[in-house]
């Protein structure tokens, strides 16, 4: 069995290194380390064109965290509570996500990546959770350690349960947006406790299509990405939906 290639959609942000500060495609080391430790070979996918050739070269797609989605991507007017957006990245990841679902390419969405999966399937988002009656989910911005831990209720025998365990589990997150209407073909398989905000969605019938609102890539949680990478490793590239 060859090492599966996992494509990670890079963030496109201003970055500083050495004497330089300029726009850059960024892939945090935590994601790269978790993919490698699960047996995958991570490669960066840079926002731009040429979607189909990219997907032809990878065995799985990982949509990572980041800034807010542009509300027009799910047919909403922008709220004053919506924060920074990167429309170029939104457009790139939405096309990638739709193409991955259409060809049954294994896909894992983390935090913003789960929201991308939901919007790609026609779902919508709450632009600011406290305004929608949910609890505060961003108590410690910029951190994913103990201060961000909270409980979720995970459906047994789901892909989310394979990643985190079933029933009440502890995860980490900080976000102010979340799923409103669930996308076509998706089902919710984890909810936050106690406010019941969707924390995981997946697409039954697909080889692997899971989105989680928390961050399994950080070392503070023992959640391995081995299930995702294993499915990518055994995927039959010739057996794709028309």
Where in the sequence numbering do the catalytic residues fall?
Answer: 111, 215, 217
Give 177-228 as a DSSP string. -EESSPPTT-EEEEEETTT--EEEEE-TTSSSEEEESS-TTSTTS----HHH
Reading the block at residue 225, the tokens are 């990405």
H/E stretch holding 149 reads strand 149-154
Q: Residue 95 to residues 32, 67, 124, 174: CA-CA distances in angstroms? A: 23, 17, 16, 26
Rounded Cα–Cα distance for residues 215 and 103 (Å):
26
Rounded Cα–Cα distance for residues 111 and 116 (Å):
9
Give 68-89 as a DSSP string. BPPGGGGT-PPPTT---B-HHH
Do 206 and 101 contact (CB within 8 A), yes or no? yes
For 108: left if phi > 0, alpha if psi spans -120 to 50, otherwise beta; the answer is: beta
Q: Residue 70 to residues 59, 77, 195: CA-CA distances in angstroms? A: 28, 9, 25
């Amino acid at each position: 069995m060859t090492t599966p290639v996992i494509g990670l959609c890079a963030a496109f942000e201003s970055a500083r290194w050495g004497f330089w500060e300029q726009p850059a495609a960024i892939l945090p080391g935590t994601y790269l380390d978790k993919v490698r430790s699960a047996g995958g070979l991570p490669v960066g996918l840079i926002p731009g064109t040429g979607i189909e050739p990219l997907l032809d070269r990878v065995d799985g797609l990982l949509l990572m965290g980041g800034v807010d989605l542009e509300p027009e991507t799910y047919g909403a007017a922008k709220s004053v509570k919506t924060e920074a957006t990167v429309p170029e990245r939104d457009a790139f990841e939405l096309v990638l996500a739709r193409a991955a679902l259409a060809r049954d390419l294994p896909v894992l969405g983390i935090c913003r990546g789960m929201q991308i999966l939901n919007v790609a399937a026609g779902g919508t988002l709450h632009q600011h959770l406290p305004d929608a009656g949910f609890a505060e989910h961003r108590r410690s911005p910029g951190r994913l350690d103990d201060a961000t831990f909270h409980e979720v209720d995970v459906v047994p025998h789901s892909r989310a349960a394979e990643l985190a365990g079933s029933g009440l589990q502890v995860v980490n997150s900080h976000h102010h947006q979340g799923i409103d209407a669930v996308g076509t073909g998706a089902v919710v398989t984890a909810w936050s406790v106690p406010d019941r905000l969707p924390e995981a969605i997946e697409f039954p019938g697909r080889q692997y299509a899971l989105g989680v609102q928390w961050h399994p890539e950080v070392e503070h949680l023992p959640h391995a990405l081995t299930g995702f990478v294993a499915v990518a490793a055994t995927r039959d590239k010739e057996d794709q939906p028309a």
